[in-house]
Chain A
Amino acid sequence: MAEAVHQAFDPLSTGSRAKQIRSKTIVYGLLTFFALLYMSPLFIIFINAYRPLEEIVREGFISAPNTMSWSYWGEAWSTFCIGGNCEGVSRYFVNTLLMTVPATVLSTAFGLVNGYALSKWRFKYDAWVFGLITLGVFLPAQMTLLPWAFVLGKLGVSNTIGGLVLVHTIQGISFTTLFCRNYFVAVPDDLIKAARIDGAGFWRIFWRIMLPLSPPILIVCVIWQFTGIWNEFLYGTVFTSGSNQPITSAIVAFSGSGTGERHYNVEAASVIFAALPPLLVYVFGGKYFVRGLTSGAVK
């Protein structure tokens, strides 16, 4: 998704005509090969979402479709039975949405405030606070399972979407704080000094000066958190069950559903439903993501 920022030196356009053709063929050939390799799972899943079940069973997963039907999408969305619940993935899709949107908004908001406070205000042990918060970035999720189970139980929010919002918000703050703090460090301190002399306090400086400078890093945080939380699977599976699960955990429940007969076509459509939002976010926001990671706050 990265856009070409400047015209880089192009080694493929140098040398003799024959050499140019040869080297370009090799480079483009390799790139096409790997692109196809990475795209193939998506393509195969997509095709199978249109194929009748007996055809898949008869001819295997990887095969050209003979007859195609749109009906599996509708079935996957609203009537398919997962773990004894016959509402399709729509219910779980909504669960994930209700989990991802608040957790993304909250963790990004806290990250912005934390990053601002940690980069622009000096207080006792600020370096320690920053170190401890960002330790979360390097802590494996498995290690946090037991403590979270304890906390969620104590708060009485086990097996609720609200509980997952809490977990993802707190876990995400490590990342958003790190991102925002590193971005805000580049904002000149003189701006804050000038604002303090002008009579602005902590929050006014945040709203009027820092936040307007934040769109690039805000987009980075939102994309990172949204795709990360949407695709997350471990917390969802461990802390929720049945109709309270997010879509990623529900899809896993396919394998355990019913009598063992697998509906590959409906499952394929469900998987695509689950993957669509992060995919769209990346397709439409990806270039801002790359831009945000590489841009400074003030030109």
Chain B
Amino acid sequence: MSSLQIKNLRKSFGSVEVLKDINLEADSGEFVALVGPSGCGKSTLLSIIAGLESVSSGEVIIEDKVVNNEAPKDRDIAMVFQSYALYPTMTVRQNMTFGMECRNIDKATQDKTVERVANLLQIEPLLQRKPGQLSGGQRQRVAMGRALVRDPKLFLFDEPLSNLDAKLRVEMRSEIKKLHQRVGRTTVYVTHDQIEAMTLATRIAVMHQGVLQQYDTPKAIYETPANVFVAGFMGSPNMNFFAAKVVSTDGGFGLVLDGGDGTVLPLINGAHGALSDGQAVTFGARPEHFSPASEGRADRKGRASVIVPVTVEMDEPTGSETILMGEIAGQSAIIVCEPDEAPAPGVTMDFEVDMSKVSLFDPVSEKRL
């Protein structure tokens, strides 16, 4: 059963259209991540789902009921804000009971619910404190607690972790995931951090300039990005894009990189859309889909691979892996490899490209081929 549906949704502020024809649906219990760069309209979309903003046109449907004209309180949702938005003059307990109080839930039930949620989030010792006396991580927990006491149809999160330091962010991320698995409610989670989206979501909606670019599972988004924007936005370090030409070969098609020595990289049959001889394409390959040719790793796994020489200009060891910046056929490239196998800067070394993982895009429309 679908728990949230957004149909042909548009939103303008004055003459500026910030959401353009958004279509989304989330199944019951799903965790949907809305991801995209700052200013692309994620928060606006979330506010519209919450009922804090009106739509310009289109429909928002929660559990098969059009809620366009319903007030936020009647939509049965709970929201966690980036700023946490804890009521500064109330204690943690009062922050958590305020929503129940507004809904005239009796005192005994309120106490029981607070106890349960405080226990779940381990915030019992904080119940009598004011938000001003809490650390950032504790405020974050309380903000989640305030949402959890409600047991709503939908949980909405607006960049809930972006005010935490890096370490706490990773901790809270897995905690949110655990909570979602435990509570099992449909969740819409806004973030500009593609790693958060990848790790948490069952489906990811990638947005850019008010347009929904792709809506799919994390795996599909990562492996078969719909366009250059999605390919570049998801994944770190970024996917490499090379200008190339399609050439016909005996078995099908291959690629010749612009500015290279003319070596043909054979494409896997059927892995890409219709191609024609001489067609210009953007060839996308992720940094981790290169590996040193000497190791023969792709061959061992039975994957189709091609060897390309890479001139390394700079290396950035992160400890677990080493990021190499260099050139392939005169075009800049980023490659990730194991620290032990990394060549020294200045060296030219052969790398295999795993051709089963690469993407092709139209250089003009930037759409996937």
Whether A197 touches B50, Cβ cut-off 8 Å, given contacts A191-B87, A213-B88, is yes
CB atoms of B81 and A194 under 8 A apart: yes
Picked from B47, B77, B85, the residue with its CB within 8 Å of the CB of A188 is B85
Q: Which residue of B lies closest to A188 (CB)?
A: B83
A191 to B89 alpha-carbon distance, docked (Å): 11
The number of residue pairs between A and B whose CB atoms lie closer than 8 Å in the complex comes to 60
CB atoms of A199 and B103 under 8 A apart: yes
Would you call B71 an interface residue if the criterion is a C-beta within 8 Å of the partner chain's C-beta atoms?
Answer: yes
A195 to B79 alpha-carbon distance, docked (Å): 10
In the assembled complex, which residues on chain B have CB atoms less than 8 Å from the CB atom of A194? 79, 81, 85, 87, 146
Picked from A193, A199, A212, the residue with its CB within 8 Å of the CB of B81 is A193
Would you call A198 an interface residue if the criterion is a C-beta within 8 Å of the partner chain's C-beta atoms?
Answer: yes
From 3 to 59 in chain A, residues with beta carbon under 8 angstroms from any chain B beta carbon are none
Would you call A166 an interface residue if the criterion is a C-beta within 8 Å of the partner chain's C-beta atoms?
Answer: no
A50 to B78 alpha-carbon distance, docked (Å): 70
Whether A198 touches B98, Cβ cut-off 8 Å, given contacts A193-B52, A299-B132, is yes
From 196 to 210 in chain A, residues with beta carbon under 8 angstroms from any chain B beta carbon are 196-200, 204, 208-209
CB distance from A120 to the nearest CB of B (A): 12
CB atoms of B87 and A199 under 8 A apart: no
Whether A195 touches B52, Cβ cut-off 8 Å, given contacts A209-B87, A299-B132, is no
Whether A193 touches B98, Cβ cut-off 8 Å, given contacts A198-B73, A199-B73, A299-B132, is no
Would you call B99 an interface residue if the criterion is a C-beta within 8 Å of the partner chain's C-beta atoms?
Answer: yes
Bitwise interface map of A from 177 to 189 toward B, beta carbon under 8 Å scored 1, else 0: 0000000000010
Would you call A261 an interface residue if the criterion is a C-beta within 8 Å of the partner chain's C-beta atoms?
Answer: no
CB atoms of A193 and B85 under 8 A apart: yes
From 59 to 77 in chain B, residues with beta carbon under 8 angstroms from any chain A beta carbon are 71-73, 77
CB atoms of A199 and B52 under 8 A apart: no
Would you call B274 an interface residue if the criterion is a C-beta within 8 Å of the partner chain's C-beta atoms?
Answer: no
Bitwise interface map of A from 197 to 234 toward B, beta carbon under 8 Å scored 1, else 0: 11110001000110011000000000000000000000
In the assembled complex, which residues on chain A have CB atoms less than 8 Å from the CB atom of B132? 299
A299 to B89 alpha-carbon distance, docked (Å): 11
CB distance from A285 to the nearest CB of B (A): 22
- Name the residue among A199, A204, A299 with the largest chain B CB count within 10 angstroms: A199
CB atoms of B102 and A200 under 8 A apart: yes
In the assembled complex, which residues on chain A have CB atoms less than 8 Å from the CB atom of B50? 193, 197
Q: How many residues of B contact A (CB 8 A)?
A: 23
CB atoms of B77 and A197 under 8 A apart: yes
Would you call A283 an interface residue if the criterion is a C-beta within 8 Å of the partner chain's C-beta atoms?
Answer: no
CB atoms of B85 and A191 under 8 A apart: yes
In the assembled complex, which residues on chain B have CB atoms less than 8 Å from the CB atom of A143? none
From 74 to 131 in chain B, residues with beta carbon under 8 angstroms from any chain A beta carbon are 77-79, 81-83, 85, 87-90, 98-99, 102-103
In the assembled complex, which residues on chain B have CB atoms less than 8 Å from the CB atom of A190? 81-83, 85
CB atoms of B99 and A198 under 8 A apart: yes
CB atoms of A196 and B71 under 8 A apart: yes
CB distance from A208 to the nearest CB of B (A): 7
Q: Which residue of B lies closest to A191 (CB)?
A: B85
Would you call A298 an interface residue if the criterion is a C-beta within 8 Å of the partner chain's C-beta atoms?
Answer: yes
Q: Which residue of A lies closest to B143 (CB)?
A: A194
Whether A199 touches B99, Cβ cut-off 8 Å, given contacts A193-B52, A194-B79, is yes
A80 to B314 alpha-carbon distance, docked (Å): 97
CB distance from A68 to the nearest CB of B (A): 52
In the assembled complex, which residues on chain B have CB atoms less than 8 Å from the CB atom of A188? 83, 85
Q: Which residue of A lies closest to B79 (CB)?
A: A197
In the assembled complex, which residues on chain B have CB atoms less than 8 Å from the CB atom of A196? 52, 71-73
A199 to B75 alpha-carbon distance, docked (Å): 10
CB atoms of B85 and A198 under 8 A apart: no
Picked from B47, B77, B81, B89, the residue with its CB within 8 Å of the CB of A209 is B89
CB atoms of B102 and A199 under 8 A apart: yes
CB atoms of A195 and B98 under 8 A apart: yes
- Name the residue among A190, A196, A198 with the largest chain B CB count within 10 angstroms: A198
CB atoms of B72 and A197 under 8 A apart: yes
A198 to B324 alpha-carbon distance, docked (Å): 50
In the assembled complex, which residues on chain A have CB atoms less than 8 Å from the CB atom of B98? 195, 198, 200, 208
CB atoms of A298 and B88 under 8 A apart: yes
CB atoms of A213 and B89 under 8 A apart: yes
CB atoms of B87 and A197 under 8 A apart: no
In the assembled complex, which residues on chain B have CB atoms less than 8 Å from the CB atom of A193? 47, 50, 52, 72, 79, 81, 85
In the assembled complex, which residues on chain A have CB atoms less than 8 Å from the CB atom of B71? 196
Q: List 27 A-B contacts (CB under 8 A).
A: A190-B81, A191-B87, A193-B47, A193-B85, A194-B81, A194-B146, A196-B52, A196-B71, A196-B72, A197-B50, A197-B52, A197-B72, A197-B73, A197-B78, A197-B79, A197-B99, A198-B73, A198-B98, A198-B99, A199-B73, A199-B99, A200-B73, A208-B98, A209-B87, A209-B89, A213-B89, A299-B88
> With A196-B73, A199-B102, A204-B102 given, can you name 14 additional A-B contacts, CB distance below 8 Å?
A190-B85, A191-B85, A191-B88, A193-B85, A194-B79, A194-B81, A194-B87, A196-B72, A197-B52, A197-B72, A197-B73, A208-B87, A208-B98, A209-B89
In order of increasing CB-CB distance, the 5 nearest A-B pairs are A199-B102, A198-B99, A212-B89, A190-B85, A199-B73
